[in-house]
Chains A and B, each alone.
Chain A
Amino acid sequence: SQTIHQWPATLVQPVGSPLSLECTVEGTSNPNLYWYRQAAGRGLQLLFYSVGIGQISSEVPQNLSASRPQDRQFILSSKKLLLSDSGFYLCASYLTAAGNTIYFGEGSWLTVV
Protein backbone atom coordinates (compact mmCIF):
# COMPACT_ATOMS: atom_id res chain seq x y z
CA SER A 1 0.00 0.00 0.00
CA GLN A 2 1.04 3.58 -0.52
CA THR A 3 2.29 5.50 2.48
CA ILE A 4 3.89 8.88 3.02
CA HIS A 5 6.44 9.50 5.74
CA GLN A 6 7.18 13.00 6.96
CA TRP A 7 9.69 14.23 9.50
CA PRO A 8 10.18 15.86 11.80
CA ALA A 9 6.65 15.76 13.17
CA THR A 10 7.07 18.88 15.28
CA LEU A 11 9.69 21.58 15.43
CA VAL A 12 10.17 24.99 16.99
CA GLN A 13 12.62 27.22 15.17
CA PRO A 14 13.82 30.80 15.78
CA VAL A 15 13.26 33.52 13.23
CA GLY A 16 16.10 33.60 10.72
CA SER A 17 17.06 29.96 11.15
CA PRO A 18 17.08 27.44 8.26
CA LEU A 19 14.45 24.77 7.68
CA SER A 20 14.43 21.33 6.14
CA LEU A 21 11.34 19.12 6.06
CA GLU A 22 11.58 15.73 4.44
CA CYS A 23 8.99 13.53 2.81
CA THR A 24 9.35 10.04 1.38
CA VAL A 25 6.73 7.93 -0.40
CA GLU A 26 6.47 4.14 -0.40
CA GLY A 27 4.46 1.76 -2.53
CA THR A 28 4.50 3.68 -5.80
CA SER A 29 6.95 4.91 -8.41
CA ASN A 30 7.22 8.23 -10.24
CA PRO A 31 4.53 9.84 -8.09
CA ASN A 32 3.32 13.42 -8.34
CA LEU A 33 4.38 15.03 -5.07
CA TYR A 34 3.02 18.11 -3.33
CA TRP A 35 3.78 20.38 -0.40
CA TYR A 36 0.80 22.08 1.23
CA ARG A 37 0.69 24.47 4.14
CA GLN A 38 -2.22 24.91 6.50
CA ALA A 39 -2.08 28.00 8.72
CA ALA A 40 -4.03 27.95 11.98
CA GLY A 41 -7.77 27.88 11.24
CA ARG A 42 -7.22 28.19 7.51
CA GLY A 43 -7.48 26.00 4.45
CA LEU A 44 -4.80 24.14 2.55
CA GLN A 45 -2.46 26.24 0.45
CA LEU A 46 -0.49 24.51 -2.30
CA LEU A 47 3.14 25.57 -2.12
CA PHE A 48 4.99 23.31 -4.57
CA TYR A 49 4.38 20.32 -6.76
CA SER A 50 6.66 17.99 -8.67
CA VAL A 51 5.94 15.58 -11.50
CA GLY A 52 9.45 14.08 -11.60
CA ILE A 53 13.01 14.19 -10.28
CA GLY A 54 14.38 17.72 -10.37
CA GLN A 55 11.07 19.17 -11.63
CA ILE A 56 9.58 21.68 -9.22
CA SER A 57 6.68 24.07 -9.78
CA SER A 58 6.12 26.88 -7.32
CA GLU A 59 2.64 28.14 -6.60
CA VAL A 60 3.31 30.85 -4.07
CA PRO A 61 6.32 33.22 -4.14
CA GLN A 62 7.94 33.23 -0.71
CA ASN A 63 11.14 32.35 1.08
CA LEU A 64 10.54 28.62 0.83
CA SER A 65 11.98 26.26 -1.76
CA ALA A 66 11.51 22.61 -2.66
CA SER A 67 13.71 19.94 -4.14
CA ARG A 68 13.23 16.40 -5.39
CA PRO A 69 16.59 14.66 -5.36
CA GLN A 70 15.13 11.17 -5.77
CA ASP A 71 11.96 9.72 -7.28
CA ARG A 72 10.17 9.28 -3.98
CA GLN A 73 11.80 12.01 -1.90
CA PHE A 74 10.56 15.58 -1.59
CA ILE A 75 12.23 18.23 0.57
CA LEU A 76 10.94 21.62 1.69
CA SER A 77 13.58 24.15 2.72
CA SER A 78 14.15 27.69 3.81
CA LYS A 79 17.35 29.61 4.36
CA LYS A 80 15.80 32.08 6.81
CA LEU A 81 12.48 31.47 8.49
CA LEU A 82 9.91 34.19 9.08
CA LEU A 83 7.22 34.26 11.76
CA SER A 84 4.65 33.91 8.98
CA ASP A 85 6.13 30.54 8.02
CA SER A 86 4.55 28.94 11.08
CA GLY A 87 1.96 26.34 10.20
CA PHE A 88 1.19 22.73 9.45
CA TYR A 89 3.13 21.42 6.45
CA LEU A 90 1.73 18.45 4.58
CA CYS A 91 3.34 16.31 1.94
CA ALA A 92 0.94 14.64 -0.48
CA SER A 93 0.84 12.29 -3.44
CA TYR A 94 -1.77 10.65 -5.64
CA LEU A 95 -3.61 7.57 -4.39
CA THR A 96 -3.70 5.43 -7.50
CA ALA A 97 -6.32 3.11 -5.99
CA ALA A 98 -8.78 6.00 -5.68
CA GLY A 99 -8.82 7.77 -9.04
CA ASN A 100 -6.89 11.00 -9.08
CA THR A 101 -7.39 11.78 -5.44
CA ILE A 102 -4.45 12.82 -3.33
CA TYR A 103 -3.52 11.51 0.08
CA PHE A 104 -1.45 13.08 2.79
CA GLY A 105 1.28 12.30 5.23
CA GLU A 106 0.85 12.98 8.92
CA GLY A 107 2.29 16.47 8.59
CA SER A 108 4.97 18.56 10.25
CA TRP A 109 4.06 21.25 12.75
CA LEU A 110 6.35 24.25 12.51
CA THR A 111 6.37 27.07 15.03
CA VAL A 112 8.67 29.98 14.31
CA VAL A 113 9.47 32.00 17.44
Chain B
Amino acid sequence: QKEVEQDPGPLSVPEGAIVSLNCTYSNSAFQYFMWYRQYSRKGPELLMYTYSSGNKEDGRFTAQVDKSSKYISLFIRDSQPSDSATYLCAVLYTGGFKTIFGAGTRLFVKA
Protein backbone atom coordinates (compact mmCIF):
# COMPACT_ATOMS: atom_id res chain seq x y z
CA GLN B 1 0.00 0.00 0.00
CA LYS B 2 1.33 3.42 -0.95
CA GLU B 3 1.76 5.87 1.91
CA VAL B 4 -0.17 8.55 0.01
CA GLU B 5 -2.85 7.82 -2.59
CA GLN B 6 -4.07 10.45 -5.02
CA ASP B 7 -6.25 10.08 -8.08
CA PRO B 8 -4.22 11.29 -11.07
CA GLY B 9 -7.28 12.48 -12.97
CA PRO B 10 -7.41 14.35 -15.27
CA LEU B 11 -10.19 16.46 -13.81
CA SER B 12 -11.91 18.89 -16.15
CA VAL B 13 -14.28 21.60 -14.85
CA PRO B 14 -15.88 24.77 -16.25
CA GLU B 15 -14.66 28.15 -15.12
CA GLY B 16 -16.28 29.23 -11.86
CA ALA B 17 -16.83 25.70 -10.57
CA ILE B 18 -15.82 24.51 -7.11
CA VAL B 19 -13.01 21.99 -7.36
CA SER B 20 -12.38 19.28 -4.79
CA LEU B 21 -9.05 17.48 -4.78
CA ASN B 22 -8.39 14.65 -2.37
CA CYS B 23 -5.75 12.33 -0.98
CA THR B 24 -5.67 9.51 1.52
CA TYR B 25 -2.70 8.49 3.60
CA SER B 26 -1.91 5.35 5.52
CA ASN B 27 0.18 6.36 8.56
CA SER B 28 -1.40 8.23 11.45
CA ALA B 29 2.04 9.56 12.46
CA PHE B 30 2.00 12.16 9.69
CA GLN B 31 1.53 15.63 11.13
CA TYR B 32 2.26 18.03 8.27
CA PHE B 33 0.00 18.12 5.25
CA MET B 34 0.81 20.14 2.17
CA TRP B 35 -0.58 20.99 -1.23
CA TYR B 36 1.67 21.96 -4.11
CA ARG B 37 0.74 23.34 -7.51
CA GLN B 38 2.85 22.46 -10.51
CA TYR B 39 2.54 24.13 -13.87
CA SER B 40 3.78 22.34 -16.95
CA ARG B 41 7.58 22.05 -17.06
CA LYS B 42 8.00 23.96 -13.78
CA GLY B 43 8.97 22.95 -10.27
CA PRO B 44 6.13 22.46 -7.77
CA GLU B 45 5.28 25.49 -5.64
CA LEU B 46 3.88 25.33 -2.15
CA LEU B 47 0.22 26.33 -2.13
CA MET B 48 -0.83 25.60 1.44
CA TYR B 49 0.26 23.63 4.44
CA THR B 50 -1.51 22.49 7.59
CA TYR B 51 -0.18 21.15 10.84
CA SER B 52 -2.33 18.42 12.40
CA SER B 53 -6.10 18.58 11.81
CA GLY B 54 -8.50 21.26 10.76
CA ASN B 55 -9.08 23.71 7.98
CA LYS B 56 -6.97 26.47 6.55
CA GLU B 57 -8.20 29.08 4.14
CA ASP B 58 -6.25 31.34 1.79
CA GLY B 59 -8.28 33.33 -0.69
CA ARG B 60 -10.08 30.92 -3.00
CA PHE B 61 -8.25 27.90 -1.57
CA THR B 62 -9.21 25.83 1.47
CA ALA B 63 -7.15 22.91 2.80
CA GLN B 64 -8.84 20.40 5.05
CA VAL B 65 -7.39 17.54 7.08
CA ASP B 66 -9.43 14.77 8.68
CA LYS B 67 -7.01 12.69 10.71
CA SER B 68 -9.70 10.27 11.88
CA SER B 69 -10.22 9.08 8.33
CA LYS B 70 -6.70 9.92 7.09
CA TYR B 71 -8.13 12.14 4.39
CA ILE B 72 -6.83 15.47 3.10
CA SER B 73 -8.63 17.79 0.71
CA LEU B 74 -8.06 20.96 -1.25
CA PHE B 75 -11.03 23.04 -2.36
CA ILE B 76 -10.78 25.71 -5.01
CA ARG B 77 -13.68 28.16 -5.23
CA ASP B 78 -14.51 30.14 -8.36
CA SER B 79 -11.96 28.20 -10.36
CA GLN B 80 -10.10 30.05 -13.10
CA PRO B 81 -8.31 28.85 -16.25
CA SER B 82 -5.07 29.93 -14.55
CA ASP B 83 -5.73 27.23 -11.93
CA SER B 84 -5.11 24.60 -14.61
CA ALA B 85 -2.12 22.67 -13.28
CA THR B 86 -1.16 19.49 -11.49
CA TYR B 87 -1.89 19.51 -7.76
CA LEU B 88 0.20 17.33 -5.48
CA CYS B 89 -0.60 16.48 -1.90
CA ALA B 90 2.26 15.73 0.48
CA VAL B 91 2.74 14.51 4.04
CA LEU B 92 5.56 14.61 6.57
CA TYR B 93 6.32 13.23 10.01
CA THR B 94 7.13 15.71 12.75
CA GLY B 95 10.91 15.85 12.81
CA GLY B 96 11.03 13.80 9.64
CA PHE B 97 13.43 14.35 6.78
CA LYS B 98 11.38 12.96 3.94
CA THR B 99 8.29 14.53 2.46
CA ILE B 100 6.11 11.95 0.73
CA PHE B 101 4.09 13.02 -2.29
CA GLY B 102 0.96 11.78 -3.95
CA ALA B 103 0.99 11.12 -7.69
CA GLY B 104 -0.65 14.48 -8.43
CA THR B 105 -4.04 15.31 -9.95
CA ARG B 106 -4.08 17.11 -13.26
CA LEU B 107 -6.74 19.82 -13.32
CA PHE B 108 -8.13 21.59 -16.39
CA VAL B 109 -10.37 24.62 -15.94
CA LYS B 110 -12.19 25.46 -19.17
CA ALA B 111 -13.03 29.08 -20.01
Task: List residues of chain A with CB under 8 Å of any chain B CB.
Answer: 32, 34, 41-44, 46, 49, 51, 57, 59, 88, 90, 95, 98-107, 109
Contacts and interface: CB of A to CB of B under 8 A. Distances in A.
Interface of B: 6, 8, 32, 34, 41-46, 49, 51, 88, 90, 92, 94, 96-104
A42 B98 contact: no
Given A34-B99, A44-B44, A88-B41, 19 more contacts: A41-B8, A43-B102, A46-B98, A49-B97, A49-B98, A51-B97, A100-B32, A100-B96, A101-B32, A101-B34, A101-B90, A101-B99, A102-B99, A103-B45, A103-B46, A104-B44, A105-B43, A106-B42, A107-B43
B94 to A, nearest CB: 8
